[in-house]
Structure 1
C-alpha cells in the first residue's frame, strides 16, 4: 500500500481517525510522524512554517502539497484512492456525500464537542441552559439521521462512502459523551450503521474499541477548597459571649451557598405590548411574506419603544472560506447567545459562494441598546451592529430579506441561514 503523504494528528482526534480510515479503506496509506507531542511540536518554527495556524490534523503530500482541516484532508485522501467509490459515482451522489459530511460535523460532532468542553470545565462558566440546548439540538439531528437510515444500509448509495466513515468517526465520540444507553435504545438504525462501518476489516484496528457511556456526561462543580479555621481572638474584658443558636451549623462556611440570581437590566424595562414568544411562534408557523404572513403579524404587533431591530454583519468576511463552515459559525454564535434567548430573535445567513461570502442578518432585541443583549456571547465584538429604521425603505427591505432568507447584498445571494428563536 503506497503512502501519499504525512499526517500530523493524535490517536484520540476523531477527525484524524477519519482520515486514516478513509486512506485504509481507499487502499492508500498516510505516514504518521515518528514522534509528535501535541501543544509542543505544533508550536515549533518548523511546523508553523508549513502550517501557520499551528492546528492539527495537518497533511503534507509526497509532492509537498499542504492541507489542514479534517474534512478537507479526508476528501483529498478519498480522491487520491484508486478505484474507490468513496466520493460517489455521479455528481448527485458527490453532492449528497458532501451534505452528510457537513451534517455529521456541524449537527452532531460540533454539539458533542461543545458538551464535552462544558462538562470538562473547558468552556466556562458552566450554564445548564446552554448544556441542554446543545443536547437538544444534537438529539434532533440524531432523529433525522435515524429516519434516513431506516430504509438504507449506507448514507448514500449502496456502498461505503466518505459520508459513512465521517459519521462513524463523529458518532464514536458522541457515544462516549452524549448518546447514553436510553438514547441509544431509540437509535437502532444509527447504531447498526455505526457497527457496520467500524467493524469493516480495513477499519477495525483504526477505530478500536468504542466506549459507550451508560449516562450522558454531566458537569461536576469543582470541590470548594476547605478553609483552615482562624484562631479565635482573645476576648476583651468587656466582650460578652453571644449565645450560640440551636440551629447554628459549625460547617456552614464550608457549604456552598446559592448566590441570589442577579437581575438582568433588561428585566427592569417598562413592560412591552410586543410578546417576543408570540412572535417566534408566528414566524415558525406562518409563511414569512404575503397576506397573513409572519411579517404582517410583526408590523401589526411590534412595539418600537420596547424593542429594537438591528442589522448585524460579521467584521472579518475575508477570513471566510467554505459556506457550510460559515453557517456553522453562525450556529456557534447563536449557541453562545443562549442566555439572552428571552430577549432576542435572530435571522442570519451566509451570502455568496466559497471563498467569496459574507455573514449578515437581522436581530430583534429587547430595549434600545443591543450590547446588554449580545454581550453574553464572548465573540459578540466580531460583529457590527446597526439599528434599523423600519420607516426607511432600504432598512425595511434589508430586514424583510433577512427574515425571508432571500436577502441579497452586492450581488451575493443567500445560500444558507439559521434562526435564533
Structure 2
C-alpha cells in the first residue's frame, strides 16, 4: 500500500507520536522524510513555501494536500481510516473526542511544557508560575481520573482519537511532571495509559513508559568560586611633597565632582506611613484576615503622604501566552528599579492565553504617579487611575483583590503576577 503522505516530525515530539499512533490504528500508511534536522530544515525556503509557519508536525499528502498543527493532522488521519471509527460513531461522539483531546493538550501538556521551560532555564523561573502550572495540571488529571472511574475509554466502548491523545500527553507527563505522589491519585488514568501504549500496533511507537519519581525542579546555577588573589607586593611610599608645591605642579585644574541629583519626591512632607515597613508586612503576613497585611495597611496608611493607583495595560488585545505577559510585567518592574524606595506594586495577568489582561495596583510616594513610574520607558503603555480606598467601596475591593492575587475582571480570573517591593 502506498503511503497516504509524508509526516515531518521528530521522535521525541509528543504530537508527532500521537499522529503516528493514530495512523497505525487507522490502518493509514504514512512516510517519514529520509532526513530531517529540526531548526534547520524547517527554516529553509522550500519548507516554508509548503508550511508557512515553519512548525512541525507538518503533513504533505500524496494528493498534494498540506496541513500543519498536530491536532488537525491527527484528526485528518483518523478520518482517513473510516473503518476504525477513531472519531466515534456519531457527531456527538466526534464532539466528545475533540473535547477530551483539546482539554488534555491545553490544560495538561501546556503546563508540562511550561514547567520544563522554566526549570531548565529556557524561560525565567518563578515559583508562582511553577505552583500555578502544577495546580492546573492536577486539576486536569483529576477530571480525567474521575471519568475513567466508570469508563474504560473516553468515548464509547472502543479506542478513539481521544484515548490516543490523552495517552500521548500523559505518556510525556509521567516522564517529567506527573511524579510518584501525583500518580498515586490517578490509578485509573495510569491503567488507561498502559492499556493504550501497549496495544500491539503502538508498542514500537511509544516504547516503554518512563516514570519519574520526583517532578522536574528548578536548580539555581552554582556560583563560581573566586580564586583568592595573591597578596600584592608592598609598594614603596611616595615622597610626600609640601602642599604648596603639590598645588603648583598640577597642570590641570581639579574637575569638580558632579552634584548628586536629588529626587523631587524627597522634598515632599514627611509621612507617618513607612513604605519599607509595609513591604515587610506584606511579605511576612497573610494578605487577608485578622492580623493580616491588609489590616496592617489600613491601620498605618497615610493618604497625605502616599497615594494608591489602579494600573491597566492599554493593549490587552496584543497579549498572547499568559506566561509571556507575566514576563512583561517583570520587565516593567525591572525598569522601575530607580523608584524602588518610593513605590510598591502588585500587578497580575488575568484570564487565559489568547484572552487575557494585565491589571493591578501601585502605592506611590506623593499625590501623583508620574514621578515614580516615568523611570520606565514603557510607563505610558499603562493607564493609571487614582483609587480612594477609604471612601469608595469598588476602589477598596479592587485594591484588596490585587494585593491578595484574587482579582477578577470581566470574567477573567487572576492567573499569575508579580510584586514590586
Alignment TM-score, normalising by the size of structure 2: 0.65
**Match for residue 165 of structure 1?**
164
Aligned alpha-carbon RMSD (Å): 4.0
Alignment TM-score, normalising by the size of structure 1: 0.65
Give the SS at the match of 1:3: coil
1:191 aligns with 2:190: yes
CA distance in structure 1 between the partners assigned to 2:24 and 2:385 by the alignment: 54
Question: CA offset at residue 130 of structure 1?
Answer: 2.2
Structure 1 199/232 Cα, relative in aligned 2: closer, same or farther at 3 Å? same
**Match for residue 10 of structure 1?**
10
**Match for residue 322 of structure 1?**
none
Mapped contact 1:164–1:197 kept (Cα < 8 A): yes
Report 1:92-241 matches (<5 A): 92-124=92-124, 126-236=125-235
CA offset digits 1:341-393 (Å, max 9, x no partner):
x824664479xxxxxxx8465734345879x99xx9xxxx9x97555799xxx
**Match for residue 420 of structure 1?**
415
CA distance in structure 2 between the partners assigned to 1:389 and 1:71 by the alignment: 46
**Match for residue 343 of structure 1?**
346
CA offset digits 1:28-48 (Å, max 9, x no partner):
022100111112211222112
The structure that has the greater radius of gyration is 2
**Match for residue 265 of structure 2?**
none
**Match for residue 363 of structure 1?**
359
Structure 1 237/316 Cα, relative in aligned 2: closer, same or farther at 3 Å? closer
Q: Which of 295, 299, 312 is 1:310 aligned to?
A: 312
1:19 aligns with 2:12: no
Give 5+ residue unaligned stretches, structure 2. 238-273, 280-285, 290-302, 334-344, 388-394, 399-407, 417-421
Mapped contact 2:322–2:349 kept (Cα < 8 A): no
CA distance in structure 2 between the partners assigned to 1:87 and 1:22 by the alignment: 11
CA distance in structure 2 between the partners assigned to 1:189 and 1:145 by the alignment: 9
Q: How many aligned positions are there?
A: 323
Structure 1 330/269 Cα, relative in aligned 2: closer, same or farther at 3 Å? farther
CA distance in structure 2 between the partners assigned to 1:129 and 1:346 by the alignment: 12
**Match for residue 326 of structure 1?**
none
Structure 1 6/131 Cα, relative in aligned 2: closer, same or farther at 3 Å? same
Give the SS at the match of 2:82: coil
CA offset digits 1:315-366 (Å, max 9, x no partner):
459xxxxxxxxxxx454456657979x824664479xxxxxxx846573434
